Amino acid sequence: MAAWKTIRITKPCKLRIKNGNLVIEDETMRVKLSLSDIDSIIFEGDRFTLSAKVLAALSKHKVAALFCDEYYMPTAILHPYHQSSLATETLKAQLSLPDDLCDRFWQEIIRVKILNQSAVLSYFAKEDQKLEKYAKQIRPGDPYRTEAKSARIYWKKLFNDLKREANSLDVRNQALNYAYAILRSLITRDLSAAGFIPALGLWHDNRYNAFNLSDDLMEPFRPLVDIAIYLLLQNYKDDYLAPALKRDIVTIFDKEYIIFEGGLSTMRTTSVRYIQRFKAAILNRKIEFINFPTIDFEALSECF
Amino acid sequence: MSAFKIMWLIVMFDLPTTSKKDRKRYRWLFNYLDKEGYIRLQYSVYGKVFNSLQSANYGKKRLKDFLKINIKKGNVRMFLMTDAQFGKMEIVVGEQSSQEEIVQQLLFDF
């Protein structure tokens, strides 16, 4: 049974496991939630208590758990392992992946990302011919850093002169960082559920980063998040990350505006299938197995 | 908004509680329903939310398998309804529990 529920913990409360269910309670209220229904959980408040048993149960049910710091920005994710019955096989395939195939994967990923970026720009009538040119030019392994070049144009055009930063106080950056963190936790959960080690990336190879592979694979999804954030930000005039905005950001992962394998779906369901396709591509050593998400603009205008 | 169709599986039961063994079987059913994530709508009336008809049918099958093995006497009935139908249910006296509202939400804020 596919899980479909997102939970956000913002108030002081107590979490525990009772008879296989997650129980959330404070002085006034007590809620029972079935663990098999929960897809992800975001711990945002700073005064909740939870036991180790809750963490174990969350990992067992493949729940993407996200923990936030004192500024309510995500800092940690729960990364369970030994979840896939074919874990060793997948792991061996991942470890023995030849470099040229890695480069080909990265080329495809970046090509789709740039095409998605260009689609996003043309939706807002800000298109740039250079992006499509870059998408054609890209070589295996991206030796000419086409990704960086296109990103520079993209961000400049999409938001007027936005500089992407990790610890920025700009609300646009904060909203993007928040959404990316959720996306990253979803992809990482699906990767470890499929038996991959997210630390070993295709192209990202930062030795301080435990989620190189997640960062690689989430690239094509980034423009899909950007467009949703852009549309959401039009409704908010505050210059800080308002709680209502944050709530809306969480819901973009359940909006149906993604085309994947010919059908309309949400980012939450797409990410699972996308990782499965990636797994098939890795096991068969064939790039053709992988499939990438794109945006359905008609559905998008209905969602936002 | 979203393609998945929320289904409710409602289980109603009357089980004998005269002998000690009957009460034990009653507890088994109660614990099973709790473990599976059913919520109590009223005494002896339980409900569970599924996100599609397929998973609802699967949940129904599991419950049937459990009943076949563990419950011999009494009266258990169940039916499926869509969330829209469930929403049309009138509550004449009393009110809906907070649990009932929570289980059908896509995003639950605490």
Q: For residue range A268-283, what is the model confidence (pLDDT) as tens digits?
A: 888 888 988 888 888 8
Contact status of B103 with chain A (Cβ, < 8 Å): yes
Average pLDDT over residues A77-81: 77
Per-residue pLDDT at B61 exceeds 90: yes
Per-residue pLDDT at B44 exceeds 50: yes
According to the model, what pLDDT value does residue A82 have? 64
Beta strand pairing call for A74-77 and A14-18: unpaired
Confidence of residue A132 (pLDDT cuts 50, 70, 90): confident
Q: Which of A7, A11, A266 sits opposite B2 (nearest CB)?
A: A266
**pLDDT, greater one: A64 or B18:** B18
Average pLDDT over residues A19-45: 85
**pLDDT, greater one: A201 or A119:** A119
Confidence of residue B46 (pLDDT cuts 50, 70, 90): very high
Task: Give me the architecture of the A6-78 domain, per CATH.
Answer: Ribosomal Protein L15; Chain: K; domain 2 (3.100)
Taking an 8 Å cut-off on Cβ atoms, the answer to whether B107 and A254 are in contact is: yes
Taking an 8 Å cut-off on Cβ atoms, the answer to whether A256 and B31 are in contact is: no
Residue B68 CA to residue A263 CA, distance in Å, equals 40
Residue A80 CA to residue A192 CA, distance in Å, equals 7
Options 3.90.1150.10, 2.40.128.20, 3.40.50.360, 1.20.120.920; CATH of A86-303: 1.20.120.920
According to the model, what pLDDT value does residue A195 have? 79
- Give bridge partners of residue B108 from the DSSP assignment: A7
Buried b (16+ CB within 10 A) or exposed e, A46-76: eebebeeebbebbbebbbbbbebeeebbbee
Residue spans in chain A of domains classed CATH 1.20.120.920 = 86-303
Buried b (16+ CB within 10 A) or exposed e, A166-205: eeeebbbbbbbbbbbbbbbbbbbbbbbbbbbbbbebbbbe
Tell me the pLDDT of chain A averaged across its residues: 83
Confidence of residue A83 (pLDDT cuts 50, 70, 90): low
Nearest-Cα distance to chain B for A282, in Å, is 30
Locate the chain B residue with the closest alpha carbon to A266: B2
- List the one residue out of B13, B7, B4 whose CA is nearest residue B33: B13
Confidence of residue B3 (pLDDT cuts 50, 70, 90): very low
Distance set, CA B102 to CA A31, A131, A213, B11, B60 (Å): 8, 45, 35, 19, 22
Comparing A12-16, A137-141, A196-200, B100-104, which segment has the lowest mean pLDDT?
B100-104
Q: Which of B1, B37, B107 sits opposite A8 (nearest CB)?
A: B107
pLDDT tens per residue, range B5-27: 788 899 999 998 889 999 999 99
Per-residue pLDDT at A158 exceeds 80: yes
Q: What percent of chain A has pLDDT over 90?
A: 1
DSSP tag of A287: G
Per-residue pLDDT at A166 exceeds 90: no
Contact status of A55 with chain B (Cβ, < 8 Å): no
**Residue A141 and residue A107 in contact, taking contact as beta carbons nearer than 8 Å:** yes
Confidence of residue A6 (pLDDT cuts 50, 70, 90): confident
According to the model, what pLDDT value does residue B2 have? 44
Per-residue pLDDT at A39 exceeds 50: yes
Count other Cβ atoms within 10 Å, centred on residue A38.
Answer: 22
pLDDT tens per residue, range B83-97: 888 888 888 888 877
Per-residue pLDDT at B65 exceeds 90: yes
Residue B97 CB contacts under 8 Å (≥ 6 apart), including other chains: B39, B41
Taking an 8 Å cut-off on Cβ atoms, the answer to whether B59 and A266 are in contact is: no
Taking an 8 Å cut-off on Cβ atoms, the answer to whether A34 and B98 are in contact is: no
- List the one residue out of B102, B9, B97 whose CA is nearest residue B53: B9
Q: What is the rounded radius of gyration, in angstroms, for the C-alpha atoms of chain B? A: 15
Residues 243-282 on A with a CB inside 8 Å of B are 247, 250-251, 254-256, 264-266
Q: Which of B35, B50, B107 sits opposite A19 (nearest CB)?
A: B35
As for the ipTM of the complex, it is: 0.80
Residue A261 CA to residue B56 CA, distance in Å, equals 26
Q: Which of A20, A29, A254 sits opposite B106 (nearest CB)?
A: A254
Locate the chain B residue with the closest alpha carbon to A19: B35
Chain B CB contacts of A43 below 8 Å: none
Residue spans in chain A of domains classed CATH 3.100.10.20 = 6-78
Count other Cβ atoms within 10 Å, centred on residue A81.
Answer: 13
